[in-house]
Amino acid sequence: MKLLFVTQVLDRDDAVLGFVMRWVQGLAGQVESLRVLALEVGNVEGLPGNVDVREIGRRGYVRRFLRYRRYLRESFRSGPNGGFDGLLTHMVPRYSTLAAGPAAKAMGGKGAAHFLWYTHKGVDRRLLSALEVVDGAFTASDLSLRVDTPKKIVTGHGIDLDHFDVPPVGEFEDGRIQLLSVGRLTPAKDPLTTLEAVSHLRDEGLDVRLTWAGSPLARGDDDYEAMVHRAVSGRDLDGVVEFVGAVPYPRIPQMFGAADLFVNASRTGSVDKVVLESMAARRPFVSCNESIPPVLAADSELATRAGDYAFQSGDSISLASALRVWIDRSADDRRASGERLREIVARHHEVDALMARIVRRMEER
């Protein structure tokens, strides 16, 4: 297969989409050639030899649209620079809607295999329109694509195990318990509940610290960020909670390596990729996400203790209690749990295995 892959950003240093570079490497190993169309291109060190890249650019709506259409026509027509017979769009349904016409005319009118990858709780007109024109929609879990359609293909996530291969947890250093959260500073990630839980644990005499990696999502989130910072001061957590902002993807593993426990207060409901990354990094975690028990069900022992990884959404007392369970456990127990968590990711959510599943399904269209 000659595959055209459309994404927002191709930059291994990007704080949010840095993992896409690893997807490209994995896809390249499954196809004859791969072309990436991206709005923005940055550091692409390590790009395989059978991959070429076209940057669409973000400036000018009309110019952006015309460049995208030109690259699509170039890719789908016959000739040395074309002949692509597969199209995979990443996370933006509009990419598929705009590409539907050129993709349908590919291969002498036979049409290219056209698939979308989508993992988000949001359902809008653009997503529904894209689902009408694609052959299928890949998603990480049933709740990651909340549309009842026969085109839904649940595949699991794709996590780079080598990237997150950090040493297991040890004893708490000098009695200090280091928590980590990774996510944008938005209400959906609910940092306020996490702050309140830290405050509760410190009131119990525990030296709990929190590092939060992530920045606001949009301009309107700046006010929310300011409110979060006021909450830190209001709970006397200055010097206890550290906001490090957006962290380049290559540096995320060392953030996990410095943490004892991972906290995920996200209210999305679907499998949050960052939880799987914490599992790959051998970090025990707690989450309010209802999709976590099915993930843990892959390990019979962890499945019986799924409640140890859970707390009630928006309930800081519940979160503090869940963290206390792990704090009271021995380092050996936390290490053993971390290894079992990593094994789940290796068996069901490894990136190269996901890329192989995606390409195989596209070829079967």
288: Cα separation from own chain's centroid? 17
Residue 219 has pLDDT above 80, yes or no: no
User: 4, 107 in Cβ contact below 8 A?
Assistant: no
Lowest mean pLDDT segment, chosen from 11-15, 216-220, 253-257: 216-220
pLDDT of res. 93: 98
Q: pTM higher than 0.85 for the full model?
A: yes
Mean pLDDT of all residues in 294-305:
94
- Per-residue pLDDT tens over the stretch 35-71: 999 999 999 999 999 999 999 999 898 999 999 999 9
- Domains along the chain with CATH numbers: 2-158+350-363 (3.40.50.2000), 173-348 (3.40.50.2000)
pLDDT of res. 365: 87
pLDDT of res. 217: 74
- Per-residue pLDDT tens over the stretch 65-103: 999 999 999 999 987 778 999 999 999 999 999 999 999
**The token pair that represents 142 in the structure block:** 């049933």
**The token pair that represents 245 in the structure block:** 């902002």
Residue 226 has pLDDT above 80, yes or no: yes
pLDDT of res. 83: 92
- Find the length of the chain: 365
Three-class secondary structure of residue 179 per DSSP: strand
Mean pLDDT of all residues in 201-230:
91
Within 10 Å of residue 269's Cβ, how many Cβ atoms?
A: 16
- Nearest 10 degrees: CA dihedral of 112, 113, 119, 125? 60
pLDDT of res. 267: 86
- Per-residue pLDDT tens over the stretch 129-186: 999 999 999 999 998 999 999 999 999 999 999 999 999 999 999 999 999 999 999 9
- Per-residue pLDDT tens over the stretch 324-349: 999 999 999 999 999 999 999 999 99
